[in-house]
């Protein structure tokens, strides 16, 4: 896929990005090379490749699921203007 300077200018306008005129050629060239790389990657046969969660085959260290904080709900709700049944009451903002 190729991209022209006019398309970059239009995209920059839509995205509200200011690109200096002297940088426009470099930006267009950079985006064109990225799109070329994407085209190359899309042409690869990946049907036999198994998806990976992590490219390094690393495993996530998990911590034990234990409570480490004390329950402070009553202390927090004592500061609230209005509560009921353990819930914070707020003014209605939508009719």
d(CA 91, CA 4): 53
pLDDT value for 15: 96
Percent of the chain with pLDDT over 90: 67
Q: pTM for the complete prediction?
A: 0.51
Domains and CATH numbers, the chain: 5-42 (1.10.20)
- Cα–Cα distance measured from residue 74 to residue 93, given in angstroms and rounded to the nearest whole number: 26
Structure tokens given for 71: 């329950």
| pLDDT (tens digit per residue) in 23-74 | 999 999 999 999 999 999 999 998 888 888 777 877 778 889 999 999 999 9
pLDDT exceeds cutoff 80 at 90: yes
Average pLDDT of the chain? 91
């Amino acid at each position: 896929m190729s991209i022209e300077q006019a398309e970059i200018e239009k995209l920059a306008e839509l995205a509200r990005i200011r690109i200096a005129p002297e940088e426009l050629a470099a930006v267009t060239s950079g985006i064109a090379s990225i799109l070329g790389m994407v085209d190359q990657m899309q042409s690869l046969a990946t049907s036999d490749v198994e998806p990976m969660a992590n490219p390094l085959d690393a495993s996530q260290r998990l911590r034990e699921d234990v409570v480490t904080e004390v329950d402070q709900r009553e202390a927090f709700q004592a500061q609230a203007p209005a509560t009921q049944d353990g819930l914070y009451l707020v003014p209605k903002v939508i009719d």
